[in-house]
Structure 1
Amino acid sequence: MAGCPNFCSQLALLIFFSSLCYVSSLDLSCIGVKEEYNKKMGLRDDNVPISPISGNNLQVCTQESTCCTPDMENKLMSLSGKEFESVVDNTFKLIKNTFVSRTKKFDDFFIELLTKAEEDLNVMFVQTYGQIYKQNAKMFTELFEDLRHYYKGSNVNLVDILNDFFTDLLKRMFTLMNAQYLFDDDYMSCVTKHMDKLNPFGDVPQKLKRQVKRAFIAARTFVQGLAIGRDVILAMERVKPTDECRRGLTKMMYCPYCQGLMRTKPCNNYCLNTMKGCLAQHSELNKAWNEYIEALKLVAQRLEGPFNIETVVDPIDVKISEAIMNFQEHGATVSDNIFKGCGTPRRNPSDSSSRFKRQSGESGTDYYSGADFMNFGNRRHETSNEKPATAGGTNLDRLVQDIKDKTEQAKNFWIQLPYLICNGEVAATQGQDDDCWNGKDRSRYVHMVQKDGRIYQANNPEVTVDVQEDNGIVSVQIYNLKLITTKLHHAYNGIDVEWTPTTQIQGGNLTDVASGDRRKETVVVEGSGKDSTRVDEDPEEPTSSGDRIVEGSGSGSGDKDPDEETSQPVRPSGRPNPTVVGRTDRPVKPPYDVTNKPEDTKKDKGSGASTPASSSAFMLLSAGLVVIVQACLLR
C-alpha cells in the first residue's frame, strides 16, 4: 500500500499529459461560432458543429470546409433580412423625425396664429361695442372657422368665403345704420346686388382677398407638402428586401462566421455593392425627391416674402376695422344710393333700435346712435399690438428657415443610403482593404463599386437586380412626389390647389374627413396602402448615433475609369471623411451596428482561426483525475 500514492501520482501525470496532447490535436475552431450563434444571435446551437465540416451542401456560404450546416444557413438568411430592415429603419430615423416634427410644428404655428387672431378681434370688439358685437359675433366666428376648414384641406373657395363675409357685414351694418326702416329679404337681396357698384368698404375687401388667397394657398400647400414627404418616408420603410438581396446580405454579414472569422468585417466597397443592389429600388426615388425638395423651398421663399401668412392673419382685425371705418365715412352716401336703386323701405313704427346702449366700465348709461356705433377707428390703440404667442415661441421667418435648412440636408438621401449604412460599423473602414471579408476570405475586394441608381446595378457582382422591374410601393411614392411638386409650383404662383379630402392635419394629429376619427400621434400613409406607425415626440436631439444623417465618405460611386485603382471610389459630392451634417467638430459614430456587437479590438487570427478550448480540456482532465483518485481510494 505504501507505493499507492506514488502509483496514483504517476498515473495522474500520465493521464494529464496524455489529455493535453489529445486536446491539442483536436480542431475546435467552430466552438467560437457556436457561442456567437447561441448567445449573440439568439439561435439554438444544437446542430452547430465544434469542428469544420464539408460545405458542399450550402447554397450561399459555399466553402470546402465550414462551421455552418444547411439549417444554420437558412436561419442566418432569415436573420439577415430582419437585421437589414432594422438597419434601414435606423438610417431613416433622423429624416423621418425631421419631416414629422416640422410638419407638426408648422401646423401648430398656423393653427395658433389663427386662434390668436380670432381672440384679438374678439377682445377688441367686445371692449369697443359690448353687447352689440356679441349679438353679431357669430359671423366673425364663422369667418375664422371657414378659414380653418380651408387650411385643413376642404375644397372651399377663399374668395367666396370673404365675399360672403363682407356681404353679411354690409347687410348688418346697413340695417344698424338705418334702424328706422324695416327691410325684408327681397330688399336685402337688392342691396347685395349693388355691392360691387357701391364699394361700401373701399378697397379693403379686394386687398384682403388677394392677400388671404395667396398666403393661405401657400401655407396650406406647404404643410401638405411636408406631410407628403413624411408619408413617402414612412411608406418606403415598408419596402422588403428581395430574396437575392437576402442571399447577398447573408454572404456579407454571416458567411465569415461560418469560417470562424467572427471579428472580420466586410470590405467597404463590398458592402457598398451589396447595399446598392439591395437598395436599387430606393434609388429610383431620388430624382422625384430632389425636385420635390426644390419646389418645397420655392414655396418657403414665398412664405418668407410676399405670401407671409403671419403678416396677413395677425392684423386681420385691423383690416376689418378699416373696412368698417370706410363704410362709416361713406355710410350716408351708400344708403342714399341703395334707396335710389332699391326704393325707399317702410319705416319702423318702433324706432327704439336706432340707439344702442354701450357697455362701458364707467357708471351710468352711454348710448350710440347707429352712425356713432360704426365710428371706432380711433380706438384701435386701446388694444395690444404685441405679436401672438405662436407655437414653440417662434415666428414664421425662423420656422420656415429651419424647415428650409433641414429639407436641404435631405436632398439625395435615397442614393446616399448605401454610404450611410456602410460608413458605420457594419463594414471595415477605408484603408483596411487587406484586412476585411471580401465574400470568400479575409482579403482585398477586387470588384468595382457600381454607380448610383437602379439601372447601373445590372452587373452588380453581389446582388442580382432586375433593373426593368418596378416596385409597387416605390412607383406610388414617385407619383405622389410628382403630384405634390406640381401643386407646390402652383402655390408658388398663387394658383389655388384642390385636395382630395382623405386625411388632414389637425394640431399634429390626422383626422379622416369622412369619419371625423382622430388618431392621436398616429401617421397614416396614403397612396400605397395604409400603415400606422408611432413617431418620436421630440426628435430634435438624436437618441443614438443612428439618428444622425452623415454624408458619405466617398467610398464609391462606381463611375471611375476601369484602369484606375478601385479600392478608393469617391462620390462626386462626397467628403474625404464622413461628417455629421452641421457638426464638423467631432468624428462620426456610425449609425448602427448590425450585429449589436460591443466594440472589440481583437482580430481573427487567420482564416478559420480557432478559439482556445481550455474549458473543454479542463473538463476532460478533471474527469480523469477523479477516476484516479477513486481508484487509489479503493486500493
Structure 2
Amino acid sequence: MALEAAASVQEFFTDVGLYLFGADVNPEEFVNRFFDSLFPLVYNHLIDPGVTDSSPEYSECVRMARKDTSPFGNIPQRVRAQMGRSLLPSRTFLQALNLGIEVINTTDHLHFSKECGRALLRMQYCPYCQGLTLSQPCMGYCLNVARGCLAHVAELNPHWHAYIRSLEELSNAMHGTYDVEHVLLNFHLLVNDAVFQAHSNGHKILEQVNKICGRPVRAPTQSPRCSFDPSKEGHGMKISVRNDEETLANRRKDFINSLRLYRSFYGGLADQLCVNDLAAAAGLPCWDGEDLARRYSVCPNLKTQ
C-alpha cells in the first residue's frame, strides 16, 4: 500500500512547497485531496481486500465517499488546522526575505547628485594635483562628504531596523504547531493514526460504502482480510534521524542573529566606508580638501555636510 500511496504523498509535499513559495494553492484543498486519494487504497487493502477489476467509476465513487463516511475520524481536520497554522507563517517569512533581497538589490547601485560627484572628486583626486599621491582624506572630511552623499540611503535605516525586528518576531513565533518542520516531520504519525482508525471501523465503513457505491467485482477466491498493526507500520520506511543542531529553527535563529548585526547598516554605511577604506588613520597627515592637515572637524548637520 505504501508504494501505491507514494504518488499521493509526493503530490501533497509538492503542494506544500508550492504554497510556501507563494503559489496560488489552498492548504485545505490539498489536504482534502490527499485524504481523498488515500481512502481507496486503505479501503481496498484493509477494509474490503480481494476486489479486482474495479472500474475507474467505482474507484472514484469510493474516493468521493470519504466525505460521507469520515473513515479517518478527525485526523483530516487536525491536519488542516496544523497546516494552516504552520504554513502561513513560513510563507510570510519567505516573502519577507524576498522583500529584503529586493531592497538590497535596489540600493546596490546608487545614483549621486552632481554636487556629490564634485565633492567625491575633490576628496579623492584633488590631492594628486598637488603631488600628494599617497595622502588620504581626513576622517572628519571623509565623514562629511560620505554622509552628505549617502543621506538618502541613511533614510532607509529606521525602516530596515523595523524590518529586521519584524523578521525576528515572526521567527520567534514559529515554534511547536507553528513550526512547519515540526508539523511535516510528524505528518506520518497522523497518517498512521488515520489508517488505524479506518481499519478499526472497517465493518461500519464497508456497509456505508456499499450503500453509496454498491458492490464491486470480486475475484473467484477472495484474499484474506489484511491486518494492520500501527506499531509495525514504520518497518521498511526510511525515516531520517535529525541532528538537533541542523533544524530549520536553529538555522533560522542563526540567520536572525547574523542579520541583527546589520540593523544599522544603512545608517552607518558612510562611517563604514571612511573607517574601513577611504580615510587616513587618526594622527596621520591627511587631505582636508585644500592641503595636508592633522585634523578635520565633522559638521554637525546634514545640510553642511
The answer to whether the superposition gives a TM-score over 0.5 is yes
Q: Aligned residue for 2:296?
A: 445
Q: Is the 8 A contact 2:36 2:64 kept in 1?
A: no
Higher relative contact order (CA 8 A, sep 6+): 2
What is the alpha-carbon distance in structure 2 between the residues aligned to residue 167 and residue 384 of structure 1? 25
SS of the equivalent of 2:181 reads helix
**Shift, 1:324, TM fit:** 0.4
Matched AA of 2:48: N
SS of the equivalent of 1:163 reads helix
Pair 379,189 (structure 1): closer, same or farther in 2 beyond 3 Å: closer
Q: Aligned residue for 2:48?
A: 178
Matched AA of 1:274: V
- Residue in structure 1 matching 2:229, options 367, 376, 384: 376
Q: Deviations over 1:137-181 (max 9, x none)?
A: 322222222222223331101111001111222233234423577
Q: Aligned residue for 1:426?
A: 278
Q: Is the 8 A contact 2:5 2:38 kept in 1?
A: no
SS of the equivalent of 1:424 reads helix
Matched AA of 2:241: K
Matches within 5 A, 1:100-499: 132-176=1-45, 177-179=47-49, 184=57, 187-188=61-62, 191-194=65-68, 198-339=69-210, 342=212, 345-346=214-215, 348=217, 350=219, 352=221, 354-355=222-223, 368-369=224-225, 372-373=226-227, 375-380=228-233, 382=235, 386-388=240-242, 394-430=246-282, 435-443=285-293, 444-446=295-297, 448-450=299-301, 457=302, 459-461=303-305
What is the alpha-carbon distance in structure 2 between the residues aligned to residue 190 and residue 144 of structure 1? 22
**Shift, 1:298, TM fit:** 1.6
Pair 297,448 (structure 1): closer, same or farther in 2 beyond 3 Å: same
Q: Deviations over 1:459-501 (max 9, x none)?
A: 234xxxxxxxxxxxxxxxxxxxxxxxxxxxxxxxxxxxxxxxx
Larger radius of gyration: 1
What is the alpha-carbon distance in structure 1 between the residues aligned to residue 64 and residue 2 of structure 2? 25
What is the alpha-carbon distance in structure 2 between the residues aligned to residue 428 and residue 285 of structure 1? 28
Matched AA of 2:289: G
Pair 276,305 (structure 1): closer, same or farther in 2 beyond 3 Å: farther
SS of the equivalent of 1:413 reads coil
Q: Is the 8 A contact 2:146 2:270 kept in 1?
A: yes
**Shift, 1:232, TM fit:** 2.2
**Shift, 1:441, TM fit:** 2.2
What is the alpha-carbon distance in structure 2 between the residues aligned to residue 302 and residue 411 of structure 1? 20
Pair 398,135 (structure 1): closer, same or farther in 2 beyond 3 Å: closer
Q: Is the 8 A contact 2:156 2:266 kept in 1?
A: yes
Q: Is the 8 A contact 1:436 1:442 kept in 2?
A: yes
Q: Deviations over 1:186-216 (max 9, x none)?
A: 844762441xxx4321222222222223222
Pair 347,436 (structure 1): closer, same or farther in 2 beyond 3 Å: closer
Q: Deviations over 1:436-476 (max 9, x none)?
A: 322122234345233xxxxxx3x234xxxxxxxxxxxxxxx
SS of the equivalent of 2:132 reads coil
**Shift, 1:250, TM fit:** 1.1
Q: Is the 8 A contact 2:143 2:271 kept in 1?
A: yes
Q: CA RMSD in A?
A: 2.8
TM-score by length of 2: 0.84
**Shift, 1:327, TM fit:** 0.8
Segments of 5+ residues of structure 2 without an aligned counterpart are none
Matched length? 298
Q: Deviations over 1:547-580 (max 9, x none)?
A: xxxxxxxxxxxxxxxxxxxxxxxxxxxxxxxxxx
Q: Deviations over 1:218-272 (max 9, x none)?
A: 2333233223323322231122333221100111111122223333322212111
Matched AA of 1:245: C
What is the alpha-carbon distance in structure 1 between the residues aligned to residue 243 and residue 105 of structure 2? 32
What is the alpha-carbon distance in structure 2 between the residues aligned to residue 189 and residue 211 of structure 1? 23
Q: Is the 8 A contact 1:215 1:303 kept in 2?
A: yes
TM-score by length of 1: 0.43
What is the alpha-carbon distance in structure 2 between the residues aligned to residue 233 and residue 298 of structure 1? 21
Q: Is the 8 A contact 1:180 1:351 kept in 2?
A: no
Pair 163,334 (structure 1): closer, same or farther in 2 beyond 3 Å: same
SS of the equivalent of 1:415 reads coil
**Shift, 1:419, TM fit:** 0.8
Judging by fraction of residues, say which structure has more helix: 2
Pair 205,190 (structure 1): closer, same or farther in 2 beyond 3 Å: closer
Q: Is the 8 A contact 1:180 1:348 kept in 2?
A: no
